[in-house]
Amino acid sequence: MATRNLYELPDVAASLLTAVAAQDKKLLFAAVKELLVSEVDPTPYLVLGWLLSPPSPYVSKACYNAYSTKSLDSLLCAVASIASYELLKVPEPAPPPTEQPTRARATWALPWSKAQNARFQQAVTYALKTKNYKHAGYLMSALGPTEQKTVLVEQKINTTLFETTASPNLLQRYVEHAYAALTYEGPAPSYTKTILPLQGRTFSIPEKAYATWHIQPKPATRLVGLPLHILDADVTQFWKTQIEKYRVSRKENEFQFPDDASLEEFYETNFPNDIPDEWSSAERAKSHSSKQISTIDNPWLTCFAAIR
């Protein structure tokens, strides 16, 4: 999964998430830039970094607005403003509401009795009215994704994410952030563009990124000799485009080109300074560490694996 500058795509994605959690803006911008120049959409990784953070009305509102309007610049800025955090445990779901009678009337179509539906709707509505978004989110965890979506539609909350992910835990995190955003009062958060014009191999993959997201670094030998792995089927769109444009193929351990002009233009465009075989060990280690990394427990690992 080679990126434009011969990082590995999962490693860059893990670095982005690590940067969000550590509030490392320099690494965050560099990882996003690497994805963009590799023609990979960073939005799913930015959204995951946002949802894994604790809900906060202002930041949740900023991220929610950017996500809803599909503004990458705004989403990057909003995510960059998230305070540092540690990954949370996956919480236990709330129990269903009691059958205790109530005078309230239910308008939400939920899989319980009329009394339970009414009591649940009353409890969620009251929690939001009193800005207790954490409790409202906890109450909603008693529902499955389909029923959660039903309620959010009633509340005029964006439900696009419910159609693009199969992780109930991640959807629950979205509900919590959406409710935090719903309770925010004040001027609408706004940001200016911040995607910096970075070029080249500008960062190293942090050990914590490998450890947190259970990634073992690819061997540095991958960058010895010609970078033939850019011909792999799972490379990023950037290399697929370059291979097609210059009609590159492989013969044993060599690149094959239709003519000398294509060969020269390919190297001048993609490796203007030198090929990886001429890089220093320190340069290769930025993306292909020789260390064995000890992984750590991570309850959100399946969410990362789903978007890699």
226-261: pLDDT as tens digits = 999 999 999 999 999 999 999 999 988 899 999 999
78-108: pLDDT as tens digits = 999 999 999 999 989 999 998 888 888 899 9
Whole-number pLDDT of residue 179? 98
**DSSP β-bridge partners for residue 256:** 249
The percent of residues above 70 in pLDDT, for the chain, comes to 97
- Residue 195: is its pLDDT beyond 90? no
Better-predicted residue by pLDDT, 155 or 190: 155
50-82: pLDDT as tens digits = 999 999 999 999 999 999 999 999 999 999 999
Mean pLDDT (the chain, rounded): 93
